[in-house]
Amino acid sequence: MEAAAELFARRTYDGVSIDDLVKWVGVHRNSLYGVFGSKRGLYLAALRRHIDQDVRPHLARVARSEVALTWDLLLLAAVDRAPDDSEVAELVSSVFVELDQAAGDPGVTEALLGRWLRARPDVERHRETVSDRGVPFEHDALEMAPGKEI
């Protein structure tokens, strides 16, 4: 289950095939169907496990500090699966409500999600690539601000 959660956290739901799961998780295809019924069944089980073990125990700590989120599966589920799967939407929404309550301010949740997006390695790589093409990002813009001593 942990291995499946790791794979689902790296790719979109449609980007993960049963072949990928069989290889990555190391289970027989028949066993996967026998236990979980379908890819969606495995996905929901992995998401629930992630929420129960990786997210909920750390809500209060995350809400209080500047730590970076490592909740890729939850956050990918929010953007990738929640629009198409009401059960996923319900799970994700309940966690965000709990995070709002732990932080005492929905703005803190929004700031955390913003930091997570900006800290993702892919985003960082993209920033470097675009920056190389001469498109300024915020820090570049500050460097070029009028009146700033260089």
From residue 80 to residue 99, the character string flagging contacts with another protein as x (rule: CB under 8 A) and all else as - is ------xx------------
Are 44 and 89 a contacting pair, CB within 8 Å? no
Select the span of 13-21, 95-103, 104-112, 122-130 touching another protein (CB under 8 A): 13-21
Other C-beta atoms within 10 Å of 131: how many?
Answer: 13
Q: d(Cα 110, Cα 100) in Å, to the nearest integer? A: 9
Contact window for another protein (CB under 8 A) among 22-30, 46-54, 65-73, 110-118: 22-30
CB closer to another protein, 72 vs 87: 87
| Cβ–Cβ < 8 Å for 42, 4 | yes
Residues in contact with 13: Cβ distance below 8 Å, sequence separation at least 6, in sequence order: 43, 80, 81
33 binds another protein (CB under 8 A): yes
| Binding site residues, another protein, CB under 8 A | 17-19, 22, 29-30, 33-34, 36-41, 86-87
